[in-house]
Amino acid sequence: MDKISIDGIDKTILRALMKDARTPVLEIARNIGISGAAIHQRLRKLENSGLIAGSKFIINPKVLGYKTMAFVGVYLEKAKNNADAVRQLKRIPEVLECHYTTGDWSILIKILCKDNEHLMNVLNKSIQDISGVSRTETFISLNQQLDRQIKI
């Protein structure tokens, strides 16, 4: 992916939409002092460059009863098991993120469960049952202190 150059107007547009993706384009245009069509054109350029990867609604999982966030280091017996393990992890709905890492673990995953009992069931009956997983190391998040994107 090529590096893109963005100017002050692009940054203002991006900051407004990162704060609230539902901000009307015409409101942003009025604040900047350019036309709505110019905003749309710049957004199309930023999307085509790959800088904007999409927009989404953010669900509050606590409202649905999901209160236990955990990070799990997954030890695999052999590195060749990585791709198969990831395929199987994708089938577990509680797995939100999956990262190949350096260090002791082969994979680090972020999972969200309703409570500790649910977490234990996901670990014992889903993750540790994956072929090639030798063991796991779990860290429960007590409280997320920071959640942000890169600064524009």
- Tokens 């994979």 label which residue? 107
In a domain, 3, yes or no: no
Q: Extract the residue ranges of the chain whose pLDDT is less than 50.
A: none
Do residues 107 and 72 share a domain?
yes
For residue 106, the 8-state DSSP code is S
Total domains in the fold of the chain: 2
Task: Say how far apart CA 36 and CA 27 lie, in whole Å.
Answer: 8
- The domain in which residue 99 lies consists of 61-141
Do residues 75 and 122 share a domain?
yes
Residue 78's pLDDT is: 84
Residue 136's pLDDT is: 97
Do residues 13 and 84 share a domain?
no
Residue 56's pLDDT is: 87
Do residues 132 and 93 share a domain?
yes
Do residues 21 and 66 share a domain?
no
What pTM does this model have? Answer: 0.85
Spatial neighbors of 119 by CB under 8 A, at least 6 apart, are 68, 70, 111, 113, 138, 140
* % of the chain beyond a pLDDT of 90: 88
**Side chain identity at residue 99, one-letter code:** H
> pLDDT of 97-140, one tens digit each?
999 999 999 999 999 999 999 999 999 999 999 999 999 999 99
Do residues 103 and 74 share a domain?
yes
In a domain, 149, yes or no: no
